[in-house]
Amino acid sequence: MTTDPLWEAARRTEQWKEEFLSGRALRAVELLREALAICERHGLTKHYLYLKAHVDLYRIYRALGHDASASEHFQQAVRLGANESLLRVI
């Protein structure tokens, strides 16, 4: 049985919050990076889950004070269509 890649990416983009709130920030980042990799591997880089993973990574890195990584994911999210002004306030 093969698993739907969209379902796998979606599952990871939802799991990160629980991990992060439980103090496992590195696991949260790992889950989102896995979601990005799944999307890239299956040609889903135009799907909203790909954008969502970048926005969520931006939020995590910003919360952790990792400005360079936060900026990288912020820029990628904007390139994918996120509203720059709204993204700055989340």
pLDDT tens string 58-86: 999 999 999 999 999 999 999 999 999 99
Residue 8 in contact with residue 41, Cβ under 8 Å? Answer: no
What value, to the nearest 5°, has the Cα angle with vertex 49 and ends 54 and 44? 105
Q: What is the pLDDT of residue 1?
A: 53
Q: Is 83 exposed, middle or buried (0-12, 13-18, 19+ CB in 10 A)?
A: exposed
Q: Using only C-alpha atoms, what is the Rg of the chain?
A: 13
* Domains identified in the chain and CATH numbers: 5-89 (1.25.40.10)
Could you read off the pLDDT of 2-54 as tens digits, one per residue? 689 999 999 999 999 999 999 999 999 999 999 999 999 999 999 999 999 99
CA-CA distance, 17 to 68, in Å (whole number)? 21
